[in-house]
Amino acid sequence: MNWKGNSLYLRLALGAQVLFFAAWGGWLIVSRNTDSPEFYLATEPVDPRDLFSGTYVALNYEISSPRGGRCPRRTRDLGRLFVKLEDKGKKAVTKTGEVPVYEAADCHANPPQEPGWAKAEMIYRFGGPVAMYGIERFYLNENDPRKDARSGSVLAKVKIDRNRNLVLLDLVEKL
Amino acid sequence: MKAGMASYYKKLKADLEASAGAGIITPEQAAAVYERVMAGRTFASFRAAHWIGAAAGLFVALGIILIVASNWDQIDAATKMFAFLLLFAGVGEAAIRLDDKPAAAVPLEMVWFFMPILGIGLYAQIFNLSGDPVKPYLVWAALATPAALLSRRPFGAYICSILLFFTLYTGTVSHNSIMSLAASRAADAQPLWHWALALAVLVGGVAVYPGKKLSLPLGASAIWLFVMLLADTAIKVRSSALILLSGMSLAVLWLTWGSEPEDDKAGLALKTWLGAVYVMTFFWHYKGDAYVNRSASDTAAGGAIAWLLFAGALLSVVFRPQRLLPAGDKDDMPAKILLTASMLCSFFLFDANEATAKALAIVANLILAAFGTVSIMSGARDSNEKQINLGVAVLTLTAVTRFIDIFGTMLKSGMAFIVTGLAFGALAYFVNKGRKALIESVKK
């Protein structure tokens, strides 16, 4: 049987592709659908563009260099890490009023089963270790004025999903 | 080279028509011979309409990607995802249903090929995903490969192969991807499974490539391996001798294995080998290893790979038909000597100093001069005009470079040009004399 141009096999390949995206989309929706609290993070944005996804604001965070508690000080401690995020009293003013800005309080490779721990990947970048949370890009319409946001002028509204991943919900301008 | 091949096909057609006109063969036979020869071309099955169709599909796919990328934030996420899944299934199904109508199927297949990366881009936009830059390309390749391989046409498989090699190069050289092999700092070693993934992508890129001739994927693999030897990886080499040994061995391996003996041209592999030998001629100015990164030394694995490449290349030269000169067996010995000499040159650089480096440069110049001369003689013998031209071009380039490079002053360079011109004139005289003698011997 010649498998080149075989419509049955081609449909199976197409079905697998569509199924992949349906499953991935479903998983993304379900994993984010939690009632965990939403909070704010201080950001340091720049504005590049992605070839396939369009304009985005690239975000660095203060928590990208987590300090305090058991957070690593040596540059060799790379790989998976969990960072405890909590309100330590820092505030910012937005359109909706004054909001708490969360900060890193502790780090651990195997954290306790309690809320507030976010998954991070420690990598080496720009001359030092950096914690990447998977929230380093916020995509927006090419005409959205927030794409020109200056460093320190916006806050990232986030929450922690079922798998302890930080989810980026919105980019909020500070007043 | 393509222009050369085009003129060959044009001439062949004219000759066949003339033969048919003279009654030597029938017009049907002439047409059959021409069809058979044309069918052997790499893109023989790609008619002009197919190319236009492929371009149409590519433009439509890029257009859809850009429209999606503009980020219609007034449409909610679920609608966007549902619309994407519908479009994906629709494009794929239409491509399958219209498979026997190339004008529609080719553009549709092209759009289908780009649908996975379109989806990845869309999902990243909807969910603000970020992270490893290589993962989207790997997922795209993994999703697109089965359909590309199952397709009756080779377009998808070609792009898939290019995609895999692109991912291999960018992923392995970067510092922070699941395929990165280059350390971000001198002390860092990348995990072993990164190598497994990189090698799987490499094998995938070669395996998916639909062309019968493997010269291009083999060349891409050879260059990648050389880049890995140069970069700060677990197989890095830092000494000039091992860098040169591995580079020349890879060039010889590509030339030897990159094309079948019946092919009339070695193409890019030959040009790469010539380029590598040409680069060696500049060792005349070598002042020691000062500008080689001394922060690290050769790794054991890198050294072992360099020697293995050399051994493999040497065995290939000995046991494989030579591909340096188009005459095959007739020029076997000079070609094999030149190939072997080009690799052995690097031995000058073990415990290198200015004197040995100058010796290396002289030998490299001699190799080029010998190649040029043998090419002219071989071309004259077999009435291969292109081979003669190549020989003259190599000799001229080598001579001109050396005169400007070494002599410096106008007086000395001018004298050298005159001497070379006279040498060329003498060579042309003897070549012509040999050709006439050959014609006379045939007449008798």
**Do residues B193 and B247 share a domain?**
no
Query: Are the C-beta atoms of A84 and A111 separated by less than 8 Å?
Result: yes
Query: What pLDDT is stored for residue B379 in this prediction?
Result: 81
**Do residues B258 and B302 share a domain?**
yes
Query: What pLDDT is stored for residue A19 in this prediction?
Result: 94
Range 148-167 of B in CB contact (< 8 A) with A: 150-152
**Do residues B362 and B443 share a domain?**
yes
Q: Is residue B355 part of a domain?
A: yes
**Do residues B110 and B139 share a domain?**
no
CA separation, residue A11 to residues A98, B91, B151, B302, B342 (Å): 55, 11, 11, 45, 52
Q: Which residue range is the domain that position B145 belongs to?
A: 131-211
Query: What pLDDT is stored for residue B3 in this prediction?
Result: 44
Q: Considering CB atoms only, which of A24, A52, A142 is closest to B121?
A: A52
pLDDT tens digits for B295-328?
568 888 999 999 999 999 999 988 888 777 776 6
Q: Considering CB atoms only, which of A24, A55, A167 is closest to B123?
A: A24
Please determine, for residue A106, whether its predicted confidence score (pLDDT) is greater than 80. yes
Mean pLDDT across B234-250: 90
Mean pLDDT across B138-152: 91
**Do residues B91 and B163 share a domain?**
no
When scoring A38, A52, A137 by the number of chain B Cβ atoms within 10 A, the one with the most, hence best to mutate, is A52
* A135 contact B CB<8A: yes
pLDDT tens digits for B378-397?
887 777 777 888 888 888 88
When scoring B111, B150, B174, B176 by the number of chain A Cβ atoms within 10 A, the one with the most, hence best to mutate, is B150
Query: Are the C-beta atoms of A6 and B77 separated by less than 8 Å?
Result: no
Q: Considering CB atoms only, which of A17, A124, A142 is closest to B71?
A: A142
Q: Is residue B41 part of a domain?
A: no
Please determine, for residue B176, whether its predicted confidence score (pLDDT) is greater than 50. yes
Q: For a pLDDT cut of 70, what percent of chain B falls above it?
A: 81
> Quick count: other Cβ atoms within 10 Å of Cβ A131?
21
pLDDT tens digits for B262-283?
555 667 888 899 999 998 888 8
Q: For a pLDDT cut of 90, what percent of chain B falls above it?
A: 22
**Do residues B107 and B151 share a domain?**
no
- Of residues B206, B184, B208, the one with CA closest to residue B194: B184
Cα separation, B227 vs B245, whole angstroms: 14
**Do residues B206 and B244 share a domain?**
no
Contact at CB, A25 and B184, closer than 8 angstroms: no
CB contacts of A50 in chain B (<8 Å) are: 69, 121, 124
Q: Is residue B220 part of a domain?
A: no
Q: Lowest-confidence range among A68-77, B362-371, B434-443?
A: B434-443
> Quick count: other Cβ atoms within 10 Å of Cβ A82?
19
Contact at CB, A18 and B92, closer than 8 angstroms: yes
Burial of B81: CB neighbours in 10 Å, binned 0-12, 13-18, 19+ = buried
pLDDT tens digits for B183-232?
765 456 677 888 899 999 999 999 998 877 778 899 999 999 999 999 88
Q: Are strands A54-61 and A49-50 parallel, antiparallel or unpaired?
A: antiparallel
Mean pLDDT across B403-417: 68
* A19 contact B CB<8A: no
Instruction: Look up the pTM and report it.
Output: 0.74
**Do residues B81 and B152 share a domain?**
no
What's the CA angle centered on B276, arms B210 and B369, to 5 degrees?
A: 120
Q: Considering CB atoms only, which of A21, A28, A136 is closest to B85?
A: A21
> Quick count: other Cβ atoms within 10 Å of Cβ B204?
21
Q: What are phi and psi of B119, to 5 degrees?
A: -65, -40
Q: Considering CB atoms only, which of B85, B130, B187 is closest to A22?
A: B85
CA-based nearest residue in chain A for residue B100 = A5
ipTM above 0.85, yes or no: no
Query: What pLDDT is stored for residue B277 in this prediction?
Result: 92
Q: Is residue B16 part of a domain?
A: no
Tally of domains in chain B: 3
Cα separation, B194 vs B132, whole angstroms: 13
- Domain end point (choices B195, B211, B227): B211
Query: What pLDDT is stored for residue B434 in this prediction?
Result: 67
- Residue B1: pLDDT band by 50, 70, 90 thresholds? very low
CB contacts of B102 in chain A (<8 Å) are: none
* Amino acid letter, residue A170: D
- Residue A46: pLDDT band by 50, 70, 90 thresholds? low
**Residues 6 or more apart whose Cβ sits within 8 Å of residue A167:** A32, A135, A158, A159, A160, A161, B127, B128
